[in-house]
Structure 1
């Protein structure tokens, strides 16, 4: 398994296509962004190159390649306003294994480990993330990697006819 993580600095058409595919994948929609109701859940989005360039202004994006195929992305931002614990020098992370061929192979673990190394190199020592309570696989992975729950934001996202909590987790880097 040849796994590569490459920082995205100049989004190409194939990156835009992949982000649009992942943002509108019915399996991924409930996992990647919150929704207030069924109407919001059913809404589809279109990502442009310009929007990806805007994201790069406050996110560090890394593309995940498996055997030279783009299968996902991960990113972090520093001190975003949505942190639960407003501690300066905190990285907020996100990861999407967009292609089903990349799921269930331990790539998430390796990707987050790589992201933690990048964050540490930047001189940051705390990471925070949010995971929806129904995403048990991701929560289990984060706990295995040393993340601990610091809060639950009740009624945060809509899925399958009900509202679910967002579990906020943190990890201190040594």
Structure 2
């Protein structure tokens, strides 16, 4: 089993179609985007090449491959407005393992390690992320990788008939702030 990553430089319609499929997969939607109600949870929107190009203006996007099969994407942005802790020089990360074959095989772990290295190369020393409280698998992974909880935002996302908390976590690299 080989896991590899490729920076997205020029999206095409095939990639847009695959990412659109993942972003509209009812089993993944609750894990990857906040929703305020069932209507938002059920909302579907096609991802286009133009949309991917627009995302690339603010995100560094990488494709995730398992044995040469595209199984997911990950990205980071620097100093977005939604940071819990407004600290300049912070990367916000996101990861989606879109294909079931890519889950439970350590792909997420390797992907986060890769993102961390890319972020360090950019001279950044802090990562922040959010994980919905019901996503215990991801929360456990982030904790295992050294991310520490820094806060919670109650009533953040809707799933299974109720509102859930967003757990915000951070990790520092080679800094005196590494608490």
C-alpha separation in 2, matches of 1:20 and 1:146: 31
Partner of 1:4: 4
Please state how far the C-alpha of 1:45 moved relative to its aligned partner.
Answer: 1.4
Cα RMSD, aligned residues only = 0.6
Partner of 2:14: 14
Partner of 1:24: 24
More displaced, 110-119 or 14-23? 14-23
2:157 touches 2:164 (CA, 8 Å); kept in 1? Answer: yes
Please state how far the C-alpha of 1:68 moved relative to its aligned partner.
Answer: 1.1
Q: Which residues of structure 2 form unaligned runs of 5+?
A: 175-179
C-alpha separation in 1, matches of 2:138 and 2:173: 19
Partner of 1:136: 136
TM-score relative to the length of structure 2: 0.96
Alignment of 1:139-150 (within 5 A): 139-150=139-150
Partner of 1:44: 44
TM-score relative to the length of structure 1: 0.99
1:68 aligns with 2:68: yes
C-alpha separation in 1, matches of 2:38 and 2:105: 32
Number of residue equivalences: 174
Q: Which residues of structure 1 form unaligned runs of 5+?
A: none
2:35 touches 2:158 (CA, 8 Å); kept in 1? Answer: yes
Please state how far the C-alpha of 1:11 moved relative to its aligned partner.
Answer: 0.5
